[in-house]
Amino acid sequence: MITCFDIGGSAIKCAVASADGQLGTLRRVPTPLHDFAAFSAAMAALIDAGGASRGVAISIAGVVDPDNGRIKCANIPCIDGRALAADLSAALGLPVWIINDADSFALAEANAGAARGHANVFGLILGTGVGGGLVIGGRLVSGPGGFAGEWGHGPAAAQCAGSPPVAIPRLPCGCGQSGCLDTVGGARGMERLHLMLHGQTLDSRAIVDAWQAGDANASRTIDCFTDLLSGPLAMLVNTVGASILPVGGGLSNSAPLIARLDQAVRASILRKTDTPIIVPGQAGAEPGLIGAAWLGLENIGSAHA
């Protein structure tokens, strides 16, 4: 059995995975944010409660550098900057494997969700911001620094969008650059667009609902939003050869929005197909735990190959 964790700033979620990737009972505790000893002790208690384990696989809201194992995780200060897998392995007495939450989503979808049977998969996150994870030939790609799949960063956002076109300013991004897709994609990006276009503050769910109800302002926002994202996503599809892009994050709950984005992307890629390629994720309610399970099972299998 593998003990799987999905760790965020508010909670540590845990379940045991069997050899076929099935999860047992979900357990959770608050995340200790400032004390590594308390953090590792909380994990140890959850492992002990689940019974004998062959290893620990973790999905976490942070980025692990594959060269040195150090994690960047600002919302959990006690682990930020640590060689976390090594430190936890020493504390827990078990092998530890770690991936970020977007990579975990992609792995979950490739093995147990909408992307089963597809060799090249890009797991697309449309949540507060945008992110993603890349699976090629069934294996997760991390890349230098662990940043593979981070399509939301870099000064790539168009400076006009929609029909008729409207100017889009190059907004500062939390990564330190300006003009990143993360500033205009995802829920906060949609809200910024709506405010810029109409001087109206609405949350993303209200904008999507108003668009579905035929509201002209919301329709204009969705038009610009789709235009800004579809071009870069088409380039991504052409470049990595992904045959499907399952979507996670809050905006994935709107099937009409995902269908609209899918139509725009399929109209822009080189490979013409009538089959949707951008689809809502299907891995279930706990993709972080499911992705961690497959990561752990893959590593256990490799160790015994």
- Residue 35 in any domain: the answer is yes
Same domain, residue pair 291 and 269: no
The Cβ-side half-sphere exposure at 45, using a 13 Å CA radius, reads 13
Same domain, residue pair 95 and 135: no
Average pLDDT for runs of 10 along the chain of length 305: 92 91 92 97 95 92 88 92 96 95 94 94 94 92 87 93 95 92 95 97 97 98 98 96 96 97 97 96 90 88 53
- Residue 183 in any domain: the answer is yes
Same domain, residue pair 143 and 258: yes
Q: Taking phi first (over 0 means left), then psi (-120 to 50 degrees means alpha), and beta for anything else, what does residue 52 get?
A: beta
| pLDDT score recorded for residue 302 | 56
- Residue 231 in any domain: the answer is yes
Measured distance CA(186)–CA(229) in Å, rounded: 10
User: What are the Cα distances from residue 152, in Å, to 32, 183, 200, 201, 232?
Assistant: 29, 8, 25, 23, 9
Cβ-proximal residues to 4 (8 Å cutoff; 6+ apart), any chain: 14, 15, 16, 17, 23, 56, 57, 58, 59, 289, 292, 293, 296
| pLDDT score recorded for residue 216 | 98
Residue 227's CATH number: 3.30.420.40
- What is the radius of gyration, based on Cα positions, of the chain? 20
Q: Are 149 and 103 in contact (CB under 8 A)?
A: yes
Same domain, residue pair 27 and 73: yes
Same domain, residue pair 165 and 85: no
Same domain, residue pair 171 and 217: yes
Q: Count up the domains in the chain and report the number.
A: 2
Cβ-proximal residues to 177 (8 Å cutoff; 6+ apart), any chain: 153, 154, 155
- Residue 112 in any domain: the answer is no
Q: Measured in whole angstroms, how far is the alpha carbon of residue 282 from the centre of its chain?
A: 14
Write out the residue range of the structural domain in which residue 158 sits.
118-280
- Residue 113 in any domain: the answer is no
Same domain, residue pair 43 and 68: yes
| pLDDT score recorded for residue 147 | 86
- Residue 82 in any domain: the answer is yes
Same domain, residue pair 294 and 234: no
Same domain, residue pair 192 and 137: yes
| pLDDT score recorded for residue 305 | 41
- Residue 108 in any domain: the answer is no
Measured distance CA(113)–CA(108) in Å, rounded: 6
Same domain, residue pair 168 and 240: yes
